[in-house]
Amino acid sequence: MIAVDWGTTSLRAFLLDEGGQVVDVRRSEQGLLQVAGRFAEVLDSLIGGWDARLVVMAGMVGSRQGWHEVPYVAAPAGVSDIAAGMQALPDDALHGRELWLVPGLQCEGAGRVPDVMRGEEAQLCGLLSVLEVGACQVLLPGTHSKHVQVVDGRVERFATFMTGELYAVLRQHSLLGRMMVDAPHDDDAFAQGVLMASNGGNPLHDLFGVRTRALFGQLAPEQLSSYLSGLLIGLELAGAGERGDHLHVIASAALAQRYVAALALLGRQATSHGEALVARGIHQLACARELPV
């Protein structure tokens, strides 16, 4: 089968053998924002030559702005609940293929505001099949970072944090960003930011502090973007769990490294897992749905 992770800004396809092992991977920058409705054409070109008939897709491709909207499944939800919410596209959607979409999850009433995810549920299904533990805490950092509580092998509840997007808009469009220069990640400045944010101050004041600490020579222009990253990740992690907690982090290597470092500063252990878990999760869902993998 072919597992596809199709998000707002990226597209990845995995060719899997019957046991779910990854045989080949193809990537593209053709996220939803670039595709502009040409879903069949873009997918056909990406997976051309792969002879698997079954294609299962997760991510924003199943949203209102995607190829076909699949309703959210309500948490608490496990692999079988998510598999039950999968939907097939019409037979003629892509010549010679059988196309399915994985639903996202919604979580209402557990927190102060309702919450949603699309794509992360597939990574979580992959993680659950690897861990085989009933309860854990999972972090999926990114543009919209997800904090997930797993109980009895199901996604019990989750909350989203706008960390990555806030970093990006401040870096690109704020006065703070104008003071920054491109530079390699600075571990020390990052750690200072994490500790400042976790120290209980007002985030709006701490953000202005990026500017004043530079004005007063406490930070060099090359350190500012790492300091801002530390401030925002520290703010995200403040209140997410207790000292001594163990967390699972699912992210690209560079991002996982930052989060694991920040968690360590806050006295928490973490195990990081690569983003390829999504392929394993999609395979699990296809098996649970009894599709011809």
> Rounded to the nearest whole angstrom, what is the least distance from the CB of residue 128 to a copy of itself in the complex?
24
215 sits near a copy of itself (criterion: CB under 8 A): yes
Among 30, 160, 225, 284, binds a copy of itself (CB under 8 A): 160
159 sits near a copy of itself (criterion: CB under 8 A): yes
> Rounded to the nearest whole angstrom, what is the least distance from the CB of residue 179 to a copy of itself in the complex?
12
Instruction: Give the residue with the Cβ less far from a copy of itself, 131 or 240.
Output: 240
- Three-state SS string over 173-219 comes to HCHHHHHCCCCCCCHHHHHHHHHHHCCCCCHHHHHHHHHHHHHCCCC
> Rounded to the nearest whole angstrom, what is the least distance from the CB of residue 102 to a copy of itself in the complex?
19
Within 10 Å of residue 33's Cβ, how many Cβ atoms? 13
> How many residues bind a copy of itself, per CB under 8 A?
44
CB 28 within 8 A of CB 11: yes
The dihedrals phi and psi of 241, each to the nearest 5 degrees, come to 85, 175
Q: Which helix (H) or strand (E) holds 157?
A: strand 154-161
Task: Select the span of 42-50, 79-87, 90-98, 168-176 touching a copy of itself (CB under 8 A).
Answer: 168-176
Pick out residues in 132-151 that bind a copy of itself (CB under 8 A).
144-145
Task: Select the span of 24-32, 95-103, 196-204, 273-281 touching a copy of itself (CB under 8 A).
Answer: 196-204
Rounded CA gap, 61 and 70, in Å?
A: 9
Task: Select the span of 19-27, 36-44, 154-162, 245-253 touching a copy of itself (CB under 8 A).
Answer: 154-162
Among 37, 201, 267, 292, binds a copy of itself (CB under 8 A): 201
Q: Which amino acid is at 242?
A: E
Task: Select the span of 14-22, 50-58, 93-101, 164-172 touching a copy of itself (CB under 8 A).
Answer: 164-172
Please give the DSSP secondary-structure letter assigned to residue 221. G
Q: Which amino acid is at 238?
A: A
Q: Which amino acid is at 123?
A: Q
Question: In terms of C-beta distances under 8 Å and separation of at least 24 residues, what long-range contacts does 108-111 make, across chains too?
Answer: 108/74, 110/75, 110/156, 110/157, 111/157, 111/159
Rounded CA gap, 8 and 2, in Å?
A: 20
> Rounded to the nearest whole angstrom, what is the least distance from the CB of residue 237 to a copy of itself in the complex?
9
Among 111, 221, 267, 292, binds a copy of itself (CB under 8 A): 111
Instruction: Give the residue with the Cβ less far from a copy of itself, 136 or 235.
Output: 235
5 sits near a copy of itself (criterion: CB under 8 A): no
| DSSP secondary structure letters along 47-99 | TTT----EEEEESGGGSTTSSS--PPEESSB-HHHHHHT-EEPPTTSSTT-EE
> Which residues here bind a copy of itself, judged by CB under 8 A?
108, 111-116, 144-145, 159-163, 165-166, 169-170, 172-175, 196, 199, 201-209, 212-213, 215-216, 218, 232, 235-236, 238-240
